[in-house]
Structure 1
Amino acid sequence: MKIKHMAIFSLKYDLDAPETSKFLEDGKEILSSIPTVENFEVVYQISPKTDFNFGFSMEFTDKAAYEAYNNHPMHIHFVKERWEKEVERFQEIDFQAYT
């Protein structure tokens, strides 16, 4: 069953800082190139009900595809070298269709 994975986050930089744009652009380029990732989007948070600023949203065909993403060397490297250093706080949410 398809999985929708969302990581919502705030960066350590100001919203209009060049580092913010660089992080979002690099995240899209790197993570969307992992073979099991589908429908990758960088999203900007607009609701006053939360104070996270951005999100990465993507889909996987099934749990095996999601695990392949989590264990892919490019994902591991991005998390270690960029995410852990530049993200101030985050929350991950994973959804499957309710049937």
Structure 2
Amino acid sequence: MLVIGRVEFMNYETEYGIVDDGPRFRPMAVRWGSANWTEGSRNHLEVGCVSRDAQLLDAATHFVADVIAFSEPLASECAGPGPNIVTYEVDDAAM
């Protein structure tokens, strides 16, 4: 799933001055499907869909944001996809 959008800088001019709300992500479309962009994908049957439906776009944006927030806490020092939550020992003999 890919949420496509842009970052906008929101500034509002009021009678008291300019209010700077900072950057905001504005979702514009959501894409999902089995398609991948690898070299081998040229030999596969791939499918993908794009939607600009407001409810679907809102739900997809929140879902992706939740996945990112869950998988990479702000205090995380993990630079890659390696496990960093629990310790474990691999039983090579059993494998």
Query: Is the TM value for this pair above 0.5?
Result: no
Higher-Rg structure is 2
TM-score normalised by structure 2 residue count: 0.31
Q: Which has the higher helix share?
A: 1
